Amino acid sequence: MNGQRTLSLGFSPCPNDTFMFYPLVHGLVDTSGISYRERLEDVETLNRLALAGALDVSKVSYHALGHIRDDYALLRAGSALGRGCGPLLVASRSIDPCDLGSQTIAVPGRYTTALLLLRLFNPGLTNFLVMPFNEIMDAVLRGDADAGLIIHESRFTYQGYGLRKLVDLGEWWEGETGLPIPLGGIVARRSLGGATIAAVERALADGVAFARSHPEQAARYIGEHAQEMSREVCAAHIQLYVNDFSVDLGDEGVRAIHCLMERGERAGIIPVSGAPLFCGEQHP
């Protein structure tokens, strides 16, 4: 790579993303001469931007990855993947999960992993009301939806709204597969070329490791983008979604992603693809 190259970089304003990307976008790690033009959007907006091929590098839901594998390669660093961190289905009243087929469910986007998991959990569900993730709990409380599929910081705050948990989809996934749950990952446009993608991956991995070693440095940046979140919720969010899988997916993380892709394909929710997950890898 000759000279400076600028890449568009999309990630969400959620604390786990701003925490991980702070060192990269502020030049605290070696970026191999690449600079980044950041764009912060909610995850479903990022999914749609990636579907349109509008970003060079981006955070996406693993559900969205299933639709863009031909054009984007997954990076081994930067993922939100783990145990005890899955989406929750909540309601203001007790509803038997077997009776959900007749209920309206508010969901945080058609390409979110949360919706993919819900459809795998119960393929008979079809009555979805799509809205931004931060509006779901209020919609359930108003009665606009019978139940809501919540992600991100809502996991820590739903009980304060008087809502009750109906299904923990992460718990269901782990029980079904024995694997951690893949929620979101970082992708890079394949047309960037192997050398550039490898440089981005190295810098991101170094940035995540730096952030975990210097957690206080990103505090102001995180706070600027999480203004409605308490410091305690921010800390809990980062602790839950940033872990060893965020530095490197490892064999177990890769198995979990392949499992999710295969189940989504078999269910007809995501298209079958012959593209490998990673740049330079042969299709398994």
Q: What is the pLDDT of residues 166-214, one digit of tens each?
A: 999 999 999 999 999 999 999 999 999 999 999 999 999 999 999 999 9
Residue 223 lies in a domain: yes
CA–CA gap between residue 17 and residue 151 (Å, rounded) = 14
Domain that holds residue 145: 88-177
Q: Is residue 71 part of a domain?
A: yes
Mean pLDDT over the full length of the chain: 93
Q: Domain end: 148, 177, 206, which one?
A: 177
Tell whether 75 and 188 lie within a shared domain.
yes
Residues 262-280: pLDDT tens digits?
A: 999 999 999 999 999 999 7
In contact, 105 and 127? CB cutoff 8 Å: yes
pLDDT tens, residue by residue, 39-97: 999 999 999 999 999 999 999 999 999 999 999 999 999 999 999 889 999 999 999 98
Band of the pLDDT at 228, cuts 50, 70, 90? low
Residue 104 known to bind ligand = no
Residues 99 and 169 in one domain: yes
Q: What is the mean pLDDT of residues 9-38?
A: 95
Instruction: Decide if 284 is inside a domain.
Output: no
pLDDT of 283 higher than 70: no
Whether 165 has a binding-site annotation, put simply, is no
258 has catalytic annotation: no
The tally of domains found in the chain comes to 2
Among 63, 67, 152, 237, the active-site one is 152
CA distances from 250 to 29, 77, 116, 206, 243 (A): 22, 10, 23, 15, 12
Q: What's the whole-model pTM score?
A: 0.92
Please tell me whether 113 is known to bind a ligand: yes
